[in-house]
Amino acid sequence: MKKVNIDKNSIVARTGTYSFQSLFIAVLFLILLNASAYAHSINYEVQQKGISVRVFYTEKDPASYSQYELFGPGDTEPHQIGRTDKNGFVSFFPERPGIWKIKVWGESSHGYHGVTIDVKVDEALNLQSFSKPLAATHTKLIVGISLIFGIFGIYALLKSRRAQDKGKKS
């Protein structure tokens, strides 16, 4: 058997070397672990931008959780798809000017309903105008025609009753 001479200084030197290497590897591992943690985090920023559209059946009955598709100007595939929120809102941030189309399908107690809303966005990416439902754009015309038909209906009803009454008396 060979006899090994161990020097006190060499043991200290080796232990110090191993400690430094271990410390270096541990610090390097922590740095890499921390860097990968940032790569997998989700960041966010809250901004007051974008356009919101409220979809509803009646003023007090929102089209909650209704399906929608959003198409940008000239797009054939949807820019955004999803569901309205609890209050019937669809929100989006337009990336270019033009007419954006929102197609919404909602289910009420009367069945499925659908509507397409045209939202015109200006060069500054702000709301310029939007399409309104037929009833909203022609309310006065619809009310006027309804009044004419109603008055004519009452007149025709009264005239027919008078004619019936004259026929019974003769």
Per-residue pLDDT reduced to its tens digit, 26-42: 776 767 666 555 556 77
Task: Tell me, yes or no, whether 133 and 58 share the same domain.
Answer: yes
145: in domain: no
Residues of the domain holding 22: 1-41
Task: Tell me, yes or no, whether 5 and 23 share the same domain.
Answer: yes
d(CA 90, CA 119): 12
Residues β-bridged to residue 117:
102
165: in domain: no
Task: Tell me, yes or no, whether 9 and 61 share the same domain.
Answer: no
Task: Tell me, yes or no, whether 86 and 15 share the same domain.
Answer: no
**H or E element in which residue 34 lies:** helix 8-39
Residues β-bridged to residue 107:
112
Are 110 and 117 contacting, i.e. CB atoms less than 8 angstroms apart? no
Task: Tell me, yes or no, whether 57 and 32 share the same domain.
Answer: no
Q: Tens digits of per-residue pLDDT, 50-71?
A: 999 999 888 898 999 999 999 9
Token pair of 158 as six digits:
């009264």
- Of 150 and 110, the structure prediction assigns the larger pLDDT to 150
Instruction: Count Cα neighbours of 134 within 13 Å in the Cβ-side half-sphere.
Output: 3
146: in domain: no
Of 63, 62, 79, give the one whose Cα is nearest residue 71.
Answer: 79
pLDDT of amino acid 1: 59
Are 161 and 168 contacting, i.e. CB atoms less than 8 angstroms apart? no
Task: Tell me, yes or no, whether 76 and 112 share the same domain.
Answer: yes
Which SS3 state, helix, strand or coil, does residue 94 take?
coil
Q: Is the pTM of this model over 0.75?
A: no
On the question of pLDDT at 96 being above 70, the answer is yes
On the question of pLDDT at 8 being above 60, the answer is no
Of 103, 94, 49, give the one whose Cα is nearest residue 72.
Answer: 94
34: in domain: yes
Token pair of 13 as six digits:
């030197």
Q: Is residue 63 packed enough to be buried (19+ CB in 10 Å), middle (13-18) or exposed (0-12)?
A: buried
